[in-house]
Amino acid sequence: MNIQKNYMVGFAIMLFASLNIQCKGNQKEEKSTEVTDTQKMEIATIEKTAFGTTPEGESVDKYTLKNQKGMEVAIITYGGIITSLKVPNKDNVYEDVVLGYDSLAKYTKSSPYFGAIIGRYGNRIAKGKFSLDGKEYKLATNDGPNHLHGGAKGFDKVVWTAVAIKGDSTASLKLTYLSKDLEEGYPGNLKAVVTYTLTNDNVLEVLYEATTDKKTIVNLTQHSYFNLSANFSKTILDHEIAINADTFIPVDATLIPTGKLTDVTNTPFDFRAAKVIGKDIEAKDDQLKKGLGYDHCWILNNQNEGFKLAASAYHPESGRLLEIYSDEPGIQFYTGNFLDGTLPSKTGGTYAHRTGFCLETQHYPDSPNQKYFPSTVLNPGEKYTSKTSFKFSVK
């Protein structure tokens, strides 16, 4: 019995050591490391598997990052998509809390940005046009008259180069993509780097970095659809949301900012104290009507604090709490209003209306055309950085 136990421990240590792998593109360097029993407790793991081939013939890998507690995130190199995210409920049962698909073919066929990295510009740009130094740039109009989430082939639809990095108690995946000058109409060769890091405190950190060789615009975000119940056939209307914002950005009928800001007081948009999504979502309100529910950007308070608590989501039944920290000035809260029961769920059935919500940290929509919004311009020689953390716990 003892021999068997020792053998099992030894095997686990060897397995941890062999998983200390650095993967670059298709090259694989294996580092053998000596692991002591105390270090073993700290070790997070990274596993790489093939996830398929795009219709253009590019191979796509899936990386599964796991921490010591058992929290697990799977990310594919296509779109940097988070395909699954397993976090504990109050009974310490780990379950997947993000919407997505079980195969690459489903992602390439049609996806409402499930779990993806969004770029070069998250959210909308009016009429797909903007100017820099008097020169007008034209982008795809892929959302009615407007440009949405980077265009026809945004960062959610390209294959990123991945490097897995193991820290003492963290597991990271560094994704890099070079977007060529005028790709999707945007000026400059833009080198984008997005690093996902899973820590032992059940935090998934997303660090966005970019540099350019010509003046351009950038606004990167993450488009995970959460359902903290882990039951994708249930709506998210019972989740309690808090958004640390006194104002939000009203939009026109095509979801472009009107240029005004609205105080949330006495409106369905007041989430300063945690409120169940379903409470006001059907209220008679012009903005809710335009968004078909919540699909708006809030102006975060305490912007001088830099990295701050932006929003939280709590699911009372499971006890799961998600807190989102960010250094961005805004957060788009979208309640899955366009989900309509046509897309296949990874657990069987389909994704019905409002079975997932997104909290997308970002600069404000249409900033390049809105004089009073903070700038999204990136100049050569500058570095764009933005950080968002998704912290999971139970209460």
Q: Which residues bind ligand GLA (CB under 6 A)?
A: 112-113, 148, 255, 295, 332, 334, 338, 358
- Least Cα distance to 112 among 353, 280, 393 occurs for 353
The amino acid sitting at 382 is E
Residue given tokens 């046009």 in the structure block: 129
Residue given tokens 């670059």 in the structure block: 24
Helix, strand or coil, per DSSP, at residue 268: coil
- Report how far residue 205's alpha carbon sits from residue 196's, in angstroms, rounded to the nearest whole number: 6
Least distance in angstroms from the C-beta of 133 to ligand GLA: 29
| Cβ-based nearer residue to ligand GLA, 19 or 322 | 322
Least distance in angstroms from the C-beta of 350 to ligand GLA: 15
- Report how far residue 150's alpha carbon sits from residue 66's, in angstroms, rounded to the nearest whole number: 30
| Cβ-based nearer residue to ligand GLA, 113 or 248 | 113
Strand order in the sheet with 262-263: 262-263, 245-249, 295-300, 330-334, 358-362
Least distance in angstroms from the C-beta of 93 to ligand GLA: 29
- Report how far residue 255's alpha carbon sits from residue 148's, in angstroms, rounded to the nearest whole number: 10
State residue 167 phi and psi, 5-degree precision.
-95, -175
Asked if 363 is an active-site residue, the reply is no
Least distance in angstroms from the C-beta of 368 to ligand GLA: 17
Catalytic residue among 183, 184, 328, 360: 360
- Report how far residue 393's alpha carbon sits from residue 395's, in angstroms, rounded to the nearest whole number: 7
| Cβ-based nearer residue to ligand GLA, 113 or 364 | 113
Least distance in angstroms from the C-beta of 255 to ligand GLA: 6
| Cβ-based nearer residue to ligand GLA, 199 or 287 | 287
| Cβ-based nearer residue to ligand GLA, 150 or 187 | 150
Catalytic residue among 72, 149, 184, 223: 223
For the chain, how far is it from start to end, CA to CA, in angstroms?
39
Residue given tokens 């779990």 in the structure block: 115
Asked if 56 is an active-site residue, the reply is no
Residue 108: DSSP 8-state: H
Report the catalytic residues: 223, 360
